[in-house]
Amino acid sequence: MVSDMLKKVVKKSIENEFYSPFPENYKKGQAKYIIVLGTVMSGLGKGIFSSSLGKLLQFKGFKVAPIKFDGYLNEDAGTLNPFRHGEVFVLDDGTETDMDLGTYERFLNLNLTENNYLTNGKLFSEILKKERKGEYLGRDVQVIPHVTGEIKLFLRNLAMKTKADVVILEVGGTVGDLENMFCIEAARELLYEEGKENVSIIALTYVLEPEFLGEQKSKAAQLGIKNILSVGIQPDIIACRCSNPVTNKIREKISVFSNVPLNKVISLHDVQSIYLVPEILKRAKVDENIIKKLNLKRKNHFKEEQEEIKQWDAWTEKIQEIKKEITIGMIGKYTALRDSYASIIKALEHAGISHNVKVKKKWIETTYIETGEKSIENALKDIDGVIVLPGFGKRGAEGKIKCLKYIRENNIPFLGICFGMQMAVIEFARNVCKIKNANSTEINPETKEPIIDILPEQKKLESLGGNMRLGGKKIEIKPGTRAFELYGKKKIIRERFRHRYEVNPKYISTLESKGMVFSGKHPKYPIMQIMELPDKRFYIACQFHPEFTSKPVICNPLYLGFVNAAIEYKKR
């Protein structure tokens, strides 16, 4: 049934051109909004900027709620190929999202939900559902005011549900992309409705620095900013991305062109680690400018803020002091695009900083191993540990299995993630248990030895079927195992999953009889979630994605243990 409040809103929208539904008990000004837009090109680091600004606001005691808008028509990121869009990040509630949500969680130490992620596909799906139910009461449903109205409602609902002081909206892509125009228009309307004292617009732009010229150029940045101005939005702050610090001359040009004061046109240049970006923003007084613009009242005392900053700085200082390094072999099939494994790279960085080492990565494309174009010995030369990376499908699978045989036989520290665990079980079944045709029904649906399979009883248990098993799940840890020690002797842990296939219970006793230990399983059913070989230096694989719960300072135990094993292996 249509609520009385919505009927009033819709009645009003029939009589005039306004359609701007508000959540119940919502009051203008109770939450502030920061809109982060990009120009010139995508990939400038809007997510890192948004997270860094959010971190500075957290230091001051404000509750922050980040949200990412993606313009594509997919309802979520679940079906996107990593080559096209990078990693699919999974939230605890099972929502498959853009990798920027991972950046938010790591920086802000939050567990986000579906309310922190919006796509055009999700937006239009919701609009069409409402239209079919008659919730627009005969109105012709249009981009303005209905599509933009639903975007504003989504933002306001997030503010209400999280009780946030500040909502930070990152609009994916760039201003000028047709698919983003609904959201950018909604941002303009939000500014109009909430008032300039409640909404701040920040633009990221790119300053070119061609090697053949030897100087920075601002024309592309100016044209990008012109796109923002042309849609009726005046930025309050402009952050200029560049390899090197942006010169005053360039900042002056951009300031004059954009009507943004010079002290609010800041340089956002490359640094050693993304975790140093909050310091750049702090020095440029971005947080202070935002607080002044939005008339925010400090929630933390100055001493409390300094204590928060001190703890963060103590961790980031380690990054700059690290001198030792280890090399980890990254075995996968999306190695041409590093963003495919963004969370794994960050989890390794967290663990490396905790152990005072820099983690170098050697990327090994398994397709070439599979075809014989590259030898395993050369590929795994001079490495201190190996991660067999996740990635669905047949391509490169046999290459992973070949590498795993070499890793196991040469006792190299190993961590397998999701598909990496499945391949490790198959390799062990073939070469140790002598099950010659051991395989996964994902790779060979007709295999006679389905070591990895989608099982009928699992389909019934958790509605797995052909669908993903997604989100945070409880795992029972077996006492006396390495996993038990790594997780601080906890008997129940929680990690995030994204997979379809499982170890076939019919083969578990055979695998265990040859020395494989399943140290983590479903609390009720025979679904294996961690395997290890106790006679090896470090040989652990998991069906879940431990990188999704790894955060700075609070590193994931499996990555901590793996990096420590790689350090010890290098000392040999």
What residue has token string 């923002």? 228
In contact, 72 and 237? CB cutoff 8 Å: no
pLDDT at position 463? 46
pLDDT at position 18? 64
Residue 520's nearest CA partner among 541, 498, 505, 536 is 541
pLDDT at position 464? 41
- 99-139 pLDDT, tens digit per residue, is 999 999 999 999 999 999 999 999 999 999 999 998 887 78
| CA–CA gap between residue 145 and residue 140 (Å, rounded) | 10
- 496-527 pLDDT, tens digit per residue, is 999 889 999 999 999 999 999 999 999 998 99
Other C-beta atoms lying within 10 Å of the C-beta of residue 176: 18
Provide the 8-state DSSP code for 213: T
**What amino acid positions are annotated as catalytic residues?**
418, 545, 547
φ, ψ dihedrals at 331, nearest 5°? -100, 115
Give me 255's structure tokens.
């300031």
In contact, 165 and 32? CB cutoff 8 Å: yes
Strand-pairing partners, residue 545, are none
Give me 508's structure tokens.
């578990």
Integer CA distances (angstroms), 322 to 9, 272, 360, 532, in order: 59, 11, 12, 31
pLDDT at position 213? 86
| CA–CA gap between residue 352 and residue 346 (Å, rounded) | 10
All domains in the chain, ordered by first residue: 31-312 (3.40.50.300), 323-571 (3.40.50.880)
Which strands sit side by side in the sheet containing 502-503, from one edge to the other? 438-440, 449-453, 502-503
Q: Can you list the residues of the chain whose pLDDT is less than 70? A: 1-19, 83, 455-467
| CA–CA gap between residue 545 and residue 389 (Å, rounded) | 10
Cis? peptide before 145, omega within 30° of 0 = yes
Task: For CA atoms 559, 564, 568, 570, give the dihedral sign.
Answer: positive
Threshold 0.85, pTM exceeds: yes
| CA–CA gap between residue 451 and residue 346 (Å, rounded) | 32
Length of the chain measured in residues: 572
pLDDT at position 412? 97
